[in-house]
Chains A and B, each alone.
Chain A
Amino acid sequence: MYRYDEFDHALVRERVEEFSDQVARRASGALTEDEFKPLRLMNGVYLQLHAYMLRVAIPYGTVNSRQMRQLAHIARAYDKGYGHFTTRTNIQYNWPALTDLPAILSDLADVEMHAIQTSGNCIRNTTTDVFAGAADDEIEDPRPWCEIIRQWSTIHPEFSFLPRKFKIAVIGAEKDRAAIRTHDVGLQIVKGEDGGTAFRVFVGGGQGRLPHIGQEIASAVPAADLLAYLTAILRAWNLLGRRDNIHKARIKILVASVGLEAFREEVDKHYATLRHEDLRIPEKEAERIKAYFAPPPFEDLPKASAPFDRALLADPDFARFARNNVRRHRKAGYASVVVSLKPLGGVPGDITADQMDAVADLAERYAFDELRAAYEQNLVLPHVKLDDVPTLWRALREAGLATANADLATDVIACPGLDYCSLANARSIPVAQALSKRLADMDYQERLGPVRINMSGCINACGHHHVGHIGVLGVDRKGEEYYQITVGGSPDEQAALGDIVGKSLPADEVAPAIQRTLDRYLEIRAEGERFIDTVRRVGPDPFRDAIYETLDAANA
């Protein structure tokens, strides 16, 4: 993974000093809260319901054991002993004091981490495929490009005060495991006409109040011109995007209102007058960065592993874990292992300091010292020898991290909701917990197969409910929590927004309604169909009926 050099180190240190200066000016009254707010947000500091919240960047979700242990230390020393992984592959702390924040940021800088631009109207953490560098269908590892984008976008002079936030995701395979079409800009690595690396560019995707699926604005931008092209897009939006209405400020609204063609013309106009030579990524710099992402020293191993196969036969619990949480690897004899942060009945994405330490030890021991944060709010050990998976599994089970539900119905994505968030209208966590308890039977979950359920506590959609196979959105009805259900959303290369099936439900009706939906799928699915396939084939109606039939009967 990427390591800081003297320049990176200097920059994060200087950022800590700058922030300390800002905190001091806020305390002295030199900065008003209105002035301070955007500055603290650009360092990941929110003011939530109960306390400040710090969002620490995990660039493109990659972290090593030393960094993970430091995250554990921060949870213990400055917080309440736990953290929360987000759909932007960052980690949040819910309880830090403002006065401790400079020290926390300094501790982060010690391990080459920061909280720069994890919030605010600027370019946010770039996300990618959690299996980057491990997946067998990838044409190129997207992470070096994420790192280049990270550096280019860090404290950008022109793009730090944008109309609204701006999110970029990059993938290196046809299969989209990073939901690029739900991003302001989504980048897919393709082969250019000259055989070199190029980027297929999608623009104007986004969730929130007015969700849009990104549209293709360019089919193959040569890699060297990527930053020039991104600059042109951002410049066009920065100058023309709306600033009068926060809900209409994202680039998706601009693209939708002027139309893709007109927006492309505007981008091309800026592209034509840019200083291309300056923005061309120096080849040496690209090579320097790529070298950090070279594959780890894999051994040449046979495809099959005797210890792995023996454990499959010997232990049905391990077999279940292997079926659901172990993923194929590009290198024979290796696998990627999903560490679920969705214990049955637990808080999606939460992890304790002890668990962080445990998973750091395991990464160091079994996974070339590398961990990934997945946007599904799980962790992944990307490169594990099949021979080691049984031992790893036992250690994970010891730490309470071996729930065998990756991509199953209880692998629920959920935002913190009204229990923590000052923007929320309703709670998400208790609803996710109730659902998880109701669907806890692992045999039942496996019978259902992969199904993604997403929950957001408000229309800002941090839980990505629009693109959940089943989405749940909390709304406020005269001071009471209600939940609107959508069916048929999808974040991948067949990205789609879910259909709202009907009127919203009270909290305790949500889990039963979702179970009826899933049961209906089991009744009507064709051979080999996943939940989303069935929804795509038959539409939302059968599921709407399933959701409301009992309710209607009860209310009749």
Chain B
Amino acid sequence: MLQTLEGVQNGPRLSVTTPLDEVEAAAAATDVLVLEFDAFRDGRGFSLAAVLRERGYAGRLIAAGKVLPDQARHLRRSGFDAVELAPGADAAAWDRMGQAFSGSYQPAVDPAPTIWQRRRAASNDPDLQGLADRLNRETAGKDASEILKAALDPALGLRVGAISSFGAESAALLHIVAETDRDVPVVFLETGQHFLQTLSYRTQLTKALGLTDVRLVTPDANEKATLDARDDLWRTDADACCDLRKVRPLARATAGFNAVITGRKRYQAATRAQLKPFEVLDGVLRINPLADWDADDVEAWLEAHDLPRHPLVEQGYRSIGCWPCTRAVQDDEEARAGRWSGMDKVECGIHLGRRQVAA
């Protein structure tokens, strides 16, 4: 939902009449941008927001000036996070109009699945378990590239996306994805709590591999405002924090996919010991091309293809998530021992089925 804000917001403030290149230049230098509508009829702001988002602006985008509650969904779907309410504006009308429609036909910047995607998901309820079994059989003994190619075969009619943390080992999977199809959507969970090194690595790796469709998925602004306004939920309830920042956003972002590529490997944790290249989780086909790789395989691949490394690896981090819940590990520890260290927690939840999370 579009967040409604009282009072004048901080950050550079540009009129929607500003030429696109000037808006882009301003966006490049800030992580909060306010676009001010001089008249609600002036729809340039919607295109400016959409272009900024599609060209990679990941900061906050706030609409201000003359806008109507009836434009709430236009703003949200074009890439705005929030609207600065004029004094006396009726916040209830904004909420009501923001929820006036339960679906949209056309794809836009927001991650909510479109009607087209939902229809497809509904009609595409093929026997995914059967498909997973068949693909596991057919790809037995095949390498990661071949596993991926099998999944991307257009004849299967799958809508495939990849998820990546842009962490310590991610370059291997992304490299294989890029070599197969650079246009495969790659979802990155922008939890707002990543190490700065992860963010710069994401930019570096995206460019090096030529990935064309890396999608940043952020927590819902209103949910976050309610559950974790001070960004410290991780201290008291790490599961709730993961749920807010990872599980829910990923569910939204991948609702349009019925197949998701992950970089998980059996060796990484006890919870992953049974991992197969193809499995079905919550009605989605999970494709794990690196299931039988170990740390040495990853290292060899990165070496052989001269891929950029995550800057934190040389500081002893071997599995990298959000900064509050990640530490470096000793050589004799499991790679993921540095995640939620000291807590009874191994997985964030995005790789667990819904039922298990609830249990």
Asked whether any CB of A lies within 8 Å of a CB of B in the complex, the reply is yes
- A: which residues have CB within 8 A of B? 5, 7, 10-11, 14-15, 17-18, 21-22, 25, 30-31, 35, 38-39, 121, 151-163, 227, 235, 238-239, 243, 270, 273-279, 282-285, 288
Residues of chain A within 8 A (CB-CB) of B54 are 273-275
- Quick check: is B223 within 8 A (CB to CB) of the other chain? no
* CB contact between A161 and one of B43, B55, B90 (< 8 Å): that residue: B43
Mostly helix, strand, loop or mixed at chain A's interface? Answer: helix
Taking A38-B41, A155-B105, A161-B71 as given, write out 6 further A-B residue pairs in contact, using a Cβ cutoff of 8 Å, ordered by the A residue number.
A14-B102, A157-B73, A157-B74, A157-B77, A238-B44, A274-B54
- B116-133 CB mask vs A (1 if < 8 Å, else 0) is 111110011000000000
Contact yes or no, B213 A277, CB < 8 A? yes
Q: Is B70 a contact partner of A10 (Cβ separation < 8 A)? A: no
Q: How far is the CA of A239 from the CA of B70 in the complex (A)?
A: 21
Q: Which of B55, B100, B102, B185 has the most CB of A within 10 A?
A: B100
Q: Are B51 and A273 in contact (CB-based, < 8 A)?
A: yes
In the complex the two chains form, what is the Cα distance from A352 to B118 in whole Å? 41
* A11 contact set on B, CB distance < 8 A: 101-103, 105, 115
| Contacts A/B (CB < 8 Å), 30 sampled | A5-B119, A7-B103, A10-B102, A10-B103, A11-B101, A11-B103, A14-B100, A14-B102, A21-B96, A21-B97, A30-B90, A31-B68, A39-B70, A121-B43, A151-B115, A157-B46, A157-B74, A157-B76, A157-B77, A161-B74, A162-B43, A235-B47, A235-B50, A239-B48, A243-B44, A270-B51, A275-B213, A277-B213, A282-B117, A282-B120
Q: Which residues on B sit within 8 Å (CB–CB) of A273?
A: 51, 54-55
Q: How far is the CB of A271 from chain B (nearest CB, A)?
A: 12
- Contact between A156 and B120 (Cβ–Cβ < 8 Å)? no
For residue A284, which residues in chain B have a CB less than 8 angstroms away from its CB? 120, 123-124, 157
Of all chain A residues, the one with the shortest Cβ separation from B39 is: A243
10 closest Cβ pairs, A-B complex? A161-B43, A157-B77, A278-B107, A151-B105, A7-B115, A18-B100, A158-B46, A157-B74, A238-B47, A152-B106
In the bound complex, do residue B108 and residue A158 qualify as a contact, i.e. CB atoms below 8 Å apart?
yes
Contact A25 B47 (CB under 8 A): no
Task: Say yes or no for B40: interface residue by CB 8 A criterion.
Answer: yes
Q: Across the interface, do B101 and A161 meet the contact criterion of CB distance under 8 Å?
A: no
Tell whether B78 is near chain A: CB-to-CB under 8 Å: yes
A161 with B46: CB separation less than 8 A: yes
Q: Please, how many angstroms separate the alpha-carbon atoms of A159 and B90 in the complex?
A: 25
- Bound-state CA distance A458–B232 (Å) is 64
Q: Is the CB of A157 within 8 A of B104?
A: yes
B299 within 8 A of A: no
Given contacts A30-B93, A273-B55, contact A157 B78 (CB under 8 A): yes
B residues within 8 A CB of A22? 70
- What residues on A are CB-neighbors of B42 within 8 Å? 161, 243
- Among A38, A162, A275, find the residue whose CB has the most chain B CB atoms closer than 10 A: A275
Residues of B within 8 A of A35 (CB): 40, 68
Chain B residues within an 8 Å CB radius of A279: 107
Q: Across the two chains, which residue of chain A brings its CB closest to B49?
A: A158
A15 to B41, CA, bound (A): 20
Q: Which residues of B contact A283 (CB under 8 A)?
A: 157
Q: How far is the CA of A7 from the CA of B78 in the complex (A)?
A: 21
Task: Check if A157 sits within 8 Å of B103, measured CB to CB.
Answer: no
Asked if B275 lies at the interface with its beta carbon under 8 angstroms from chain A, I say: no
B243 CB to nearest A CB, Å:
26
Greatest chain B CB density within 10 A among A25, A161, A270 is at A161
Cβ of B90 to closest chain A Cβ, rounded Å: 7
A161 with B100, Cβ < 8 A, contacts A25-B93, A151-B105, A239-B48 known:
no
**Please, which residues of chain B bring their CB within 8 A of the CB of A278?**
107
Pairwise interchain contact B185-A277, C-beta atoms closer than 8 A:
yes
Is there contact, CB below 8 Å, between A239 and B74?
no
**Set of chain A residues within 8 Å of B40, measured between Cβ atoms:** 35, 38, 161
Residues in chain B near residue A152, CB distance under 8 A: 105-106
A288 to B78, CA, bound (A): 27
From residue B75, how far is it (CB to closest CB) to chain A in Å?
A: 8
A163: chain B residues at CB < 8 Å are: 43
Please name the residue on chain A nearest to B16 by beta carbon.
Answer: A239
- Alpha-carbon distance A200/B292, docked complex (angstroms): 50
In whole Å, how far is B198's beta carbon from the nearest beta carbon of chain A?
Answer: 23
Query: Would you call A159 and B96 a contact (CB within 8 A)?
Result: no
Chain A residues closer than 8 Å to B115, beta-carbon distance: 7, 11, 151
Which B residue sits closest to A151, measured CB to CB? B105
CB-nearest residue of chain A to B154: A283
Q: Is B303 an interface residue (CB 8 A)?
A: no
Q: Is the CB of B74 within 8 A of A151?
A: no
B146 at the interface (CB under 8 A from A): no
Question: Is B138 part of the contact surface with A, judged by Cβ < 8 Å?
Answer: no
Q: Which residues of A contact B93 (CB under 8 A)?
A: 25, 30
In whole angstroms, how far apart are the Cα atoms of A151 and B115 in the complex? 10
- The answer to whether A17 touches B100, judged by C-beta atoms less than 8 angstroms apart, is yes
B231 part of interface (Cβ distance < 8 Å)? no
Q: How far is the CA of A19 from the CA of B190 in the complex (A)?
A: 36
What residues of B have a CB within 8 angstroms of the CB of A277 in the complex?
183, 185, 213
Task: Report the separation of the CA atoms of residues A159 and B100 in the bound assembly, to the nearest whole angstrom.
Answer: 18
Identify which of B70, B115, B185 gathers the most chain A CB atoms within 10 Å of its CB: B70
Taking CB atoms, residues of chain B closer than 8 Å to A121 are 41, 43
Q: How many Å lie between the Cα of A157 and that of B48 in the bound state? A: 12
State A21–B97 Cα separation when bound (angstroms).
9
Contacts of B50 in A (CB 8 A): 157-158, 235
Contacting A at CB under 8 A, from B58-107, are 68, 70-71, 73-78, 90, 93, 96-97, 100-107
CA distance A548 to B106 in the complex (A): 55
Q: A57 to chain B: closest CB distance in Å?
A: 15
B residues within 8 A CB of A282? Answer: 116-117, 120, 159
Contacts of B20 in A (CB 8 A): 239
Q: Which residue, of B41, B43, B51, B183, has the highest number of chain A Cβ atoms within 10 A?
A: B43
Q: Within residues 119 to 156 of chain B, which ones have a CB less than 8 A from any CB in chain A?
A: 119-120, 123-124
| Chain A min CB distance to B156 (Å) | 12
- In Å, the complex CA distance between A274 and B54 comes to 7
Point out the residues of chain A lying under 8 angstroms from B48, CB to CB: 239
The residues of A that contact B103 with a CB separation of less than 8 Å are 7, 10-11
Taken together as a complex, chains A and B put the C-alpha atoms of A159 and B213 apart, in Å, by 23
Cross-chain contact A21 with B100 (CB below 8 angstroms): yes
* A5 neighbours in B (Cβ, 8 Å): 119
Question: Does B101 lie within 8 Å of A155, measured CB to CB?
Answer: yes
Query: How far, in angstroms, from A152 to B115 measured CA to CA in the complex?
Result: 10
Closest A residue to B118 using CB positions: A7
| CA distance in complex: A39, B67 (Å) | 13
Instruction: Note all chain A residues with C-beta closer than 8 A to B183.
Output: 276-277
Q: Which residues of A contact B106 (CB under 8 A)?
A: 151-154, 156-157, 227
**B71 CB contacts on chain A under 8 angstroms:** 161
For the complex formed, measure the closest distance between the CB of B116 and the CB atoms of chain A, giving whole angstroms: 5
Question: What separation, in Å, do the CA atoms of A146 and B41 have in the docked complex?
Answer: 27
CB distance from B123 to the nearest CB of A (A): 7
Chain B residues near A158 (CB, 8 Å)? 43, 46-47, 50, 74, 77-78, 108
B contact residues around A274 at 8 Å (CB): 54
A238/B100 contact (C-beta < 8 A), A157-B108, A284-B157 known: no
Q: Which residue of B lies closest to A241 (CB)?
A: B44
When C-beta atoms are compared, the residue in chain A nearest to B75 turns out to be A157
Task: Write the chain B residue with the least CB distance to A234.
Answer: B47
In the bound complex, what is the Cα–Cα distance between A285 and B124 (angstroms)? Answer: 11
Q: Give the distance in Å from the alpha carbon of A12 to the alpha carbon of B213 in the complex.
A: 32
**A226 → chain B, closest Cβ, in Å?**
13
- Contacts of A7 on B, CB cut-off 8 Å? 103, 105, 115, 118-119
User: Which chain A positions have C-beta within 8 A of B46?
Assistant: 157-161, 238
CB A43 to nearest CB in B, in angstroms, measures 11
| Chain B residue contacts of A14, Cβ below 8 A | 100-102
